[in-house]
Amino acid sequence: MTSGRGWDQPGRIIHYGVSWLTKRKTQSFLAALESADFWKLPTLADVREVSAGYASQWIVEGVSNGRYQIIGRSSPDLADPVRAIGLLALRLGRLRMRSREVY
């Protein structure tokens, strides 16, 4: 996690961590990717305005069988599968964030 404001001002790293997952947790994450149709999601969604200029950048990357996929969203709404994938990754990685920090 960085301290920056996003886009061209990423800031400095303020939190870095490594977390090991059990086989069961890994399988649940892979099932979530499949459920969200991750490998078919567009890299970028339609651009929309974010009120008052506050936005967070959500980036999910994956590699499977030599295929690379990157998905980027700006403050994804509740219906965006990228949000569900990101929140699950935060939970599985045990990265604690206050609810007001997730937008």
User: What confidence score (pLDDT) does residue 39 get?
Assistant: 93
Q: Is the pLDDT of residue 27 over 70?
A: yes
User: What confidence score (pLDDT) does residue 75 get?
Assistant: 84
Closest by CA position to 43, among listed 66, 62, 65: 62
User: What confidence score (pLDDT) does residue 47 get?
Assistant: 56
Q: Which tokens sit at 38?
A: 């991750």
Quote the mean pLDDT of the chain.
82
Closest by CA position to 59, among listed 93, 87, 82: 82
User: What confidence score (pLDDT) does residue 2 get?
Assistant: 83
- What one-character-per-residue DSSP string does 6-72 give? BTTB---B---------HHHHHHHHHHHHHTTGGGS-SBPPP---GGG---EEEEEEEETTEEEEEE
- Mean pLDDT for 14-42 is 89
- pTM, two decimals, is 0.69
Q: Is the pLDDT of residue 9 over 60?
A: yes
- How far apart CA 102 and CA 89 sit, in angstroms, is 13
Q: Which tokens sit at 34?
A: 């499949």
- Mean pLDDT for 21-33 is 92
Closest by CA position to 43, among listed 66, 73, 22: 73
- How confident is the model over 35-58, as pLDDT tens digits? 999 999 998 876 555 554 567 788
